[in-house]
Each structure stands twice: as C-alpha cells, then as structure tokens.
Amino acid sequence: MTSNRTISERFPKPARPGGFRYTIDASVFLNAFNRNERDHAESVRLLAAIQKAGDPVIVPALVVAEIASAIARTTSDRDTALTYASATASLPHVTLIPITAAMAMDTADIAATYRLRGSDASYVAVAERYATTLVSLDQEHLTRGARIATCQTPQQALRHFGG
C-alpha cells in the first residue's frame, strides 16, 4: 500500500536546529565495527552523534546483508556477523528502504548513468529520493555519487555536530 504522504511527512527533518537526514553506507558501519580500521574513531563518533541527536537514518535494506557478509567473510564468525547486522538494522531512527520495482529502476538508472556498482547505486538512489546526506568511505560515492546527492565522509559529516 503506497502512502499519500510526502517524503518530508514520512521522514521529517530532525527537530533540532540544523538537523540532517542521513543515508549511511555499510562501509561506515563496518568501519565502526572494526577498531583496527583507519578512521574507526570518527565512524563511531558520527554514529553516536546521529543517534544522540535523533537524526533519521534512511538506508537501503541491503545494508543488513552487506554488513553480515563483510563481517562473516573477514572473521568467519556467523553469529557475530548476524548480531551486528541485526543490531544495526534495529538502531533507533533507522529506516530500511526495500528495493521495490520502482527503486530498482531508479538504482539501475543511477548505476548506468554514473557507472556505479549496483549496491553503491542503491545508496545513492536512497539519498537522492529521500534528500539525505550520504555518508560513506567509498571513493565512488564521494566522486561519482556526489554528482546527484550530497556525499560526505564521516569526518565531514561530524562537522554537522560541531566536531
């Protein structure tokens, strides 16, 4: 059933002055998970700041599979992978966007036009459709995706919080 409400009614801007809506790539969640990764602290700080502020996080549902896959492949620990992926999906203010036929076509158009991998294009499609800031460590997001959506690194996004 399709809602007649507008995007801003369904996903309102945060109540705090200067608040933002975010789409967060799996790369940032994974960077926050692995304390041995470069810029780990910034990813953790950003996710905590977003959660504390109550800013909406709108992500393609495939983020759950991407997180679980990456963790399981690097650690061989299925349970930890599924636990972290589930916890991420259950975070307050996180909305998972299903890949409907319409979203799939938008994603395909973005993938073909900007020569992005399919999963990368899905984050850009969500960011464009829901007018969010895409936060990513993926260089293709930060260069090609930035042509149609606001794309930032965790360090850049932390500036929204005075950090």
Low-confidence ranges of the chain (pLDDT < 50): 1-9, 14-15
Task: Identify the pLDDT of residue 147.
Answer: 95
Task: Identify the pLDDT of residue 18.
Answer: 55
As a whole number of angstroms, the distance between CA 144 and CA 161 comes to 26
Q: Which fold has domain 19-161?
A: Rossmann fold (3.40.50)
Query: 73 CB contacts (<8 Å, ≥6 apart)?
Result: none
Residue type at position 56: P
Q: Are strands 94-97 and 133-135 parallel, antiparallel or unpaired?
A: unpaired
Element (H, E) at 151: strand 150-152
Nearest of 80, 107, 114, 84 to residue 23 by alpha carbon:
107
Query: 126 CB contacts (<8 Å, ≥6 apart)?
Result: 23, 58, 59, 60, 97, 103, 132, 134
Whether the CB-CB separation of 137 and 145 falls below 8 Å is answered with: no
Element (H, E) at 39: none
Whether the CB-CB separation of 57 and 23 falls below 8 Å is answered with: yes
DSSP state of 147: G
Question: How does pLDDT run across 110-152, given as a tens digit for each residue?
Answer: 999 999 999 999 999 999 999 999 999 999 999 999 999 999 9
Place of tokens 């036009």: 113
Task: Identify the pLDDT of residue 160.
Answer: 87
